[in-house]
Amino acid sequence: MERPVFKPLGSSLYDLDTPSLFVIRDRILTNTQAYSSQVRQTGKRLTPNASIHRTPSLCRLLNQDEVYVNTVSEALEFSNVISGRITIGRAFQPSQLATILAISRIVPIRIVASSEEQISEMATLVHGKTENVSFVLRVSGLPEQRGTPVKELNGTQEFISGYLISDIGVDDPIIFLSDICPQVSSSGLPVIVESTEYLKPDALDVDFDELVEGLHPFKGGPDFSVGVIAAVVSTPESGKAFLDCGQKAISTDGGVPTVADSKSLAIERMSAEHGYLVWKPGEASIGLGDTFILEPASISDTFNLYDYLNIVEDEILVGLLDIQCRGSYS
C-alpha cells in the first residue's frame, strides 16, 4: 500500500484518503470490555492475540497489559507499551538470544514451542542469564496441527509451565476442545487454548485455564467495528462499478469483503487494484467518487497491508496509530 494522504483530526470518515483502514473506537472498546468480562466470569484468563492487529498503541487504547504475539520482533515492539507478560508463539533462534534477554529485562516472557527438545535447548540458552522467561509446550490434536501430539506427551514437565492447544483447522471448536482439553489437563499443568477464529462465548464452558484470542474487539458485537473505506473510480455499465480497493488494500484470504450496512450491494470479485461492486439495476444509484465501507473477511491479513490505522468515532477521525509490527516476521 502507498502511504495515505493524512487528514487532520476532526475530518469526516468519508473524507479520508481511499482506500484507508479504520476502526470505530467506541465499538472496539465495548466489544473488548464485554468479552473480557465474559471470560473472567468463567474463571479463565484472557490473553489478547495482538498479532491480529500488529499495533502496540491499540493495546494501550484497549487497556490490555499483556499480549500474545507471533514473533520475537513483534514482542520487542510491544514491550515498549505492555507492562505485563508477553507470550511469543514460536521458539526463538540462538541468534535471537540477545533480543530475548533484552525483552525479559522489561517484561516477563512466555515462549511457546512445538517440542520438549526445543524447550530444553532454549532453557539451556537462558540459564543463568534471566529468570523472567518461561516455556509452554504446543500440543496438537489433529495431524495437520503443529506441535507435540497428545498421545506422545510423556508426563515429563521439566521447564514446562503449561500446554497450549490451537483450534486451527477445526470445524467445531466446542466438540474438539471438549474432547482434547481433559486429556491434556490430566497433567496438572495449566491448559491454554489458542483460538484462531472468534471464539464464541458458548465455548467458554469447556474446562481450560486460559484463552488466547484476538478477534473479539472486531467481531464481538452486533455491528462492524473495522473496515476499509473505498471510492468508486469507474461505472462502466448499469449495475456495476469499480472501486479503488483491491487485494493490495483488503485481504481476500478469507473470502471477498462485504459492503457494510447494505443488502443490495456486493463485491463480486477483486483484482490486485480494484474491487468489482455489483447490484441489481434499479436497486442503487451510484456515481464516481461515491464511497463505501468494506468489511474484511480476513482482519489480520488486512491489517498487515497498512502502515497506519485510523481511529474513528461518530464518523469523525479522532486518532491515527502506527501499525508498527507490519512485516515483523522474525
Among 142, 84, 133, 143, smallest CA distance to 113 is for 133
Percent of the chain with pLDDT over 90: 83
Give the residues across from 88 on adjacent strands.
69, 111
Task: Show the DSSP H helices in 162-219 as ranges.
Answer: 173-185, 216-219
Give the pLDDT band (50/70/90) at residue 5: low
Q: Which CATH class is domain 25-219?
A: alpha beta
pLDDT averaged over every residue in the chain: 93
Q: Is the pLDDT of residue 153 over 90?
A: no
Query: Helix (H, G, I), strand (E, B), or coil: what is residue 276?
Result: strand
pLDDT tens for each residue of 18-47: 999 999 999 999 999 999 999 999 999 999
Q: Is the pLDDT of residue 188 over 90?
A: no
Among 326, 242, 252, 245, smallest CA distance to 296 is for 252
Domain 13-23+222-322 matches domain 25-219 at the CATH topology level: no
User: Cβ distance 204 to 38 under 8 Å?
Assistant: yes
Question: Residue ranges per domain, the chain?
Answer: 13-23+222-322, 25-219
Higher pLDDT, 4 or 257: 257
Question: CATH second-level architecture of 13-23+222-322?
Answer: Beta Barrel (2.40)
